[in-house]
A and B are shown apart, each in its own frame.
Chain A
Amino acid sequence: MALLQIAEPGQTPQPHQRRLAVGIDLGTTNSLVAALRSGVTAPLADADGQVILPSVVRYHAERIEVGAQARLAAATDPFNTISSVKRLMGRGLADVKQLGDQLPYRFRQAESQMPFIETVQGAKSPVEVSAEILRALRQRAEATLGGELVGAVITVPAYFDDAQRQATKDAARLAGLSVLRLLNEPTAAAVAYGLDRQAEGVVAIYDLGGGTFDISILRLTKGVFEVLATGGDTALGGDDFDHAVADWILERAGVSGDLEPGAQRELLKIACDAKERLSDVDAVEVAYAGWSGELQRETFDALIEPMIARSLKSCRRAVRDSGVELEEITAVVMVGGSTRVPRVRSAVGQLFGREPLTDIDPDEVVAIGAAVQAETLAGNNRDGEELLLLDVIPLSLGLETMGGLMEKIIPRNTTIPVARAQDFTTYKDGQSAMMIHVLQGERELISDCRSLARFELRGIPPMVAGAAKIRVTFQVDADGLLSVSARELASGVEASIQVKPSYGLTDGEIARMLEDSFRKADEDRDARALREQLVDAQRLLEAVEAALVADGERLLSAEERVAIDSQVAELRGLLDSQDALAIERQTKRLSQITDAFAARRLDSTVKAALAGRRLNDIED
């Protein structure tokens, strides 16, 4: 490596004291990974210079494809090409059926209640599909940053419930990523904006992505980002705009009945293109199945109006929950690709009475904010003024009580972490067990809430009804994940669970997937080793060749020159061999044989400097 430093002054490799950490925006439609590099936090690009990775996974018999290539196959290979998988995270088969014809996959009930998708590689859970996306981003980050990651901050919609968060964390685990924190998307966006502008005051973040909508109200005070309230809809996004346009096209084209999955994908693509073009022009030509016509922006605006209205209603509710008045809000930030739609911008502007901010790319802002927080959590900016994020739980947490009612223990918009206990009692004489049913939601009837988990407290000593005192404690950590414990106070009998969501994966499923992913991790590791060796080898080759051109004749004897040339040729020949070990050995050999040459070059540089001559003069 000595040669490199002489041959390329000013490009010395960075010392790698820093712990590598990234921010990942795992989106419904697109995903990104961002990191801090030479003082700038920005998304990382792939080999083709693309920062956006379409959240599409295609299963081939022998391999898996993620991203733009996979997306191209959406129409031709619909069953094996999975997109918008985020909509299935932490959901049960029944929920998924509600999404209905929007999802052209073949689902299968598995051991857990999670819907599995049939592919050529067998049944895949949404968690596994998401893990493939995360794996691709991890590999991109490690290749770009040149080292293994200590961890990642992964963003989730603020309105994600416990099951959806847990599913995201499981996906990261399968992808071999250590999760530094699950961060709410709007909070991440606020970080990106707030830091950029040194902002103070109350900020509203309107985040309309491909499949989810979030609204958060935050107070920014001296580097503290305090979420006052959050709200949203985990089933509202730009995808719904596409479906509205698709329905309009079908109606106009006079096509009815169920479409084949491939045809449906085709139609949705046409609808999505029309939507995107309408952000810049007032009318677009649309052609489908022999029909063609014009879609006016006005018509489009009317089609999506009900969805925009739904989002605005969530905004009003969040403002009410935050306890601030609309007029106190000093800035409105737009996040998510769907906020490019002009009608969305104008409607939001109208509600808040001010022009929304759009100056950071709405697709990138969440990943950038996550990367900023990842740096902090990895311990890389202990010296500077650290920022602090105080987030909240989006939905109330509670228990089932008599009569099928939900008793709230922790109301929505409570700052996390939080621990809260409530006492319950027995309702029958001699009752020895109590069922604890954990729920999340705002409604009174348990049937309207999401069931998170059930567990039983057994061994309560026999007492008359109402005499036992059972304390149930809820604890929500900084990721927004819940654990519950129950304890009978007189006897000390205890039961506790880390909430395993009803719609999560079973332990058996996780074990199997982890095994799969370990196998994959070995392959990953081999691939990474090879890539690293190749980079080292190429770097050395370039350095040696440049040095030979500059000083070969002046500083080397004929035999020395021949020896070096042959080692160079040897290493060049190995570059395509895929043999990491051989490349490593040969790189070392070349490095050793050029050591003396390097020393001589260094000496001659020093001598030249002492003689008061510039290096260029010698080279000339």
Chain B
Amino acid sequence: MKATQGTTYRMLGSRLNDVSNDLERLRMIGATGKKLNKPSDDPASIRPVLNTRKQLSNVDRYLETMGKSLDTMQATDGHLEHVENIMQRAKEIMTNAINGSLNDADRTVLADELANLRKELLDSANGTVDGKYLFAGYAEDTKPFVEDGAFNIKLFDPANAATWPVSYAGDENATSLEISAGELIQVNLTGNNLFFGTVDWPSASALGGDHPEAGRYNLFNEITLAEQALRTNNTTTMQNSLDNLEGAAEQNRRLRSQLGNRASRVETAMDYQEGVRIDLKQVLSRYEDADAIEAFNAIVQQETAFQAALNVTSKVSQLSILDFI
């Protein structure tokens, strides 16, 4: 075994090659700040990385969806508050009518006010956000509540929607959105549920016909009936109406608090997803980001090795037996 020119230069060449390849790899890591630049860098972390990226994009989507849902819920809540005020005022009017000694003219004034309240209620029921009707179910481009111009109190039949003062043109479907993987949340209230007291439309109430469900109320009908009781000055029906109006207001409050609960659920979910996003970013970073200090240390180290290899190479060429014989 002997060291020949060929072996020496081959060894030096391959060493220089190795070191400069290594240096290039390290510089790539330093320049991109990532240790995962191609699949072979770490095949085991490909799946977590791609998976985490998907989750991140999903979280962004959920956050956007939740932001939109909150907007809808807040707008809905504003309308519900207004409905509550209307129902409150209607109750006050009825209490006033029952307790006070009023003459016909006074009662007519109050009855007219009730008629106006019904119109106000109608405005709220047809409330919109973004040009879409809030209480129309899926039919968000259809004006859900329409006043029947030919309404005749004498023909009124609580079991037949065709005789009611206000008819419903929306549908019974509430909108659900996905706020986290697999979790759907209902973001609105349907008109029939809120104003007609029935989850299904047309009503599938056990009472038959278009009756609201047991213990629930049709807000428009109740106000109309109260107005009628005032106009006919019938104390019994007035008393009845007052109870019903109270029930109707309660129905509104209940649904409003349900919506409020869901809104707060969405808010917690948003906080949670924000947290998840930070965690996911950390996970992603752990898999694909290089430790900057470590990377630059390694570069310096490798550069030194490269310099040494170059030094040796130049020394070798200076040394020749020909200079000595």
A and B from one assembly?
A: no
User: Which residues in A have some Cβ–Cβ distance to B below 8 Å?
Assistant: none
User: Which residues in B have some Cβ–Cβ distance to A below 8 Å?
Assistant: none
